[in-house]
Amino acid sequence: GGTSDDPLKGGGAKGDTVVVGSNNFAESILLADIYGEALKAKGIKVTYKPNIGSRETTYGLMKNGTITVLPEYNGSLLAYLDAKAKPKTVEETTTAIDAKLDSKLELLKPSAAQNKDSVTVNAETAKKYKLTSDSSIADLKDVAKDLDFGGSPEFQTRHQGLAGLKSVYGLEFKSFKSLDAGGPLTQTALKKNTVQAADLFTTDPTITRDKFVVLKDPENLFGFQNVQPLVRKGELSKEGAAALDAVSAKLDTKALLDLDAQVQLEKKDPLDVAKAWLKSAGLV
């Protein structure tokens, strides 16, 4: 049984059990599994609370102590905490986050693996407007008014979303279709040309499979998106923190892409994938 067995217990992380949460997309679940299994290897009791929802929800649950550990993306987190911040480096990002982060929470070391939001167009659109992987978001300036854009409902209002695309790149799309956060709905919509451009995660394995084109983000609107564990202060032991740091040290974008492909294309169970990677990386 999972945490759902004690639904009303807000501070599930109290005591010796660590609750590892995740957002409701495959990579987040995978990362949570990696964190959790790494912690278990250190003899820490772990329960998972996967698949929760958007950051808006998970951040709340971190604050109230329902979950102890959450795989985060530093850029998105910062954008959520401080929409105006424009950090130039990973370190700046961390500093900016620390300034705004809830006092009960802290970030551990970031990994090299990045997974950003992006503006991605499908093959058809790329061909039509001659867009390549060297094109930038700014190249859409003239054609955006003819494009339907797909993204999660929250993308519509975030700065690292429609608002930023407008203010930073001056893009105004023909319409915005609320789908999911870079998930299968968005993938399908893009593939079927229901939308011509969409917010996909850069580690999305369907990008290569379906020949989507990710546009460059020269203004760094989507910021740095390093995978980085967010934890509740003092509720994770030293060994635990060390174990997660070790994971971050080994994890890079290429590894992440590979793991994502295993889960989403090869249909392997994320937990199995996580365990296998930890083993191959010598972390367990």
Partner 1 sequence: MNVLNFVNSFFSDSAHWHGYDGIPARLGEHVRYTLQALLLAAAIGLPIGLVTGHYGRGGNALSLVATAGRALPSFGLLVLMTTLLGFGMLPVMIPLVILAVPPILVTTYEAMRSVDPSPVDAARGMGMHESRILFQVELPVALPLILSGLRSAAIQIVSTATIAAYVSLGGLGRYIVDGLYQRNYEKVVGGATLVAVLALVTLALFWAVARTAVSPGVRRR
Partner 2 sequence: MSGFLHDFFDIPSDLQHSWLGLIGLHLREALLPVAAGLLLALPIAQLCVRFRWLYPPVLGVTTVLYAIPSLAFFVVLIDYTGQTELTVMIPLAVYSLVVLVPAIVDGVRSVSEETLAAATAMGFGPVRRYFQVQLPIAVPAIIAGLRVATVSSISLVSVGMLIGNQGALGNLLHDAQIYNRPELTWNSVITTALLAILVDALLVLVRVLLTPWMPSGTARRKQAPALEDAAR
Residues that bind partner 2 (CB under 8 A): 1-2, 4, 7-8, 10, 22, 24-26, 29, 33, 48-53, 57, 61, 66, 180, 183-185, 263-265, 267, 269-272
Alpha-carbon dihedral sign for residues 116, 119, 125, 131: negative
Starting at the earlier edge strand, list the strands of the sheet with 17-21: 45-49, 17-21, 69-73, 227-232, 105-107
Q: Does 32 bind partner 1 (CB under 8 A)?
A: no
Nearer to partner 2 among residue 23 and residue 94 (C-beta): 23
Cβ proximity to partner 2, 29 vs 101, nearer residue: 29
150, interface contact from partner 2, partner 1, none, CB < 5-8 Å by kind = partner 1
At a CB cut-off of 8 Å and minimum separation 6, what does 131 contact? 121, 125, 139, 213, 215
User: Burial code of 89-122, b = ≥16 C-beta within 10 A, e = fewer?
Assistant: ebeebbebbeeebeeebbbbebbbbbbbbbbbbb
State the binding partner of 56 from partner 1, partner 2, none, CB within 5 to 8 A by kind.
Answer: partner 1
Binding mask 39-78 for partner 1 (x = CB under 8 A): --------------xx-xx---------------------
Please give the angle made by the CA atoms of 79, 94 and 110, to the nearest 5 degrees.
105
Mask for 145-184, x = binds partner 1 (CB under 8 A): -----x-xxx-xx-----------------x-xxx----x
* Near partner 1 in 216-275, by CB under 8 A: none
For the record, the structure tokens of 155 come out as: 């993308």
Q: Per rule CB under 8 A, is residue 95 in the interface with partner 1?
A: no
**Which of 113/162 has CB closer to partner 1?**
162
Task: For the CB of residue 81, give the shortest distance to partner 1 in the complex, in Å.
Answer: 14
Which positions lie near partner 1, rule CB under 8 A?
A: 53-54, 56-57, 150, 152-154, 156-157, 175, 177-179, 184-185, 188-189, 192, 194
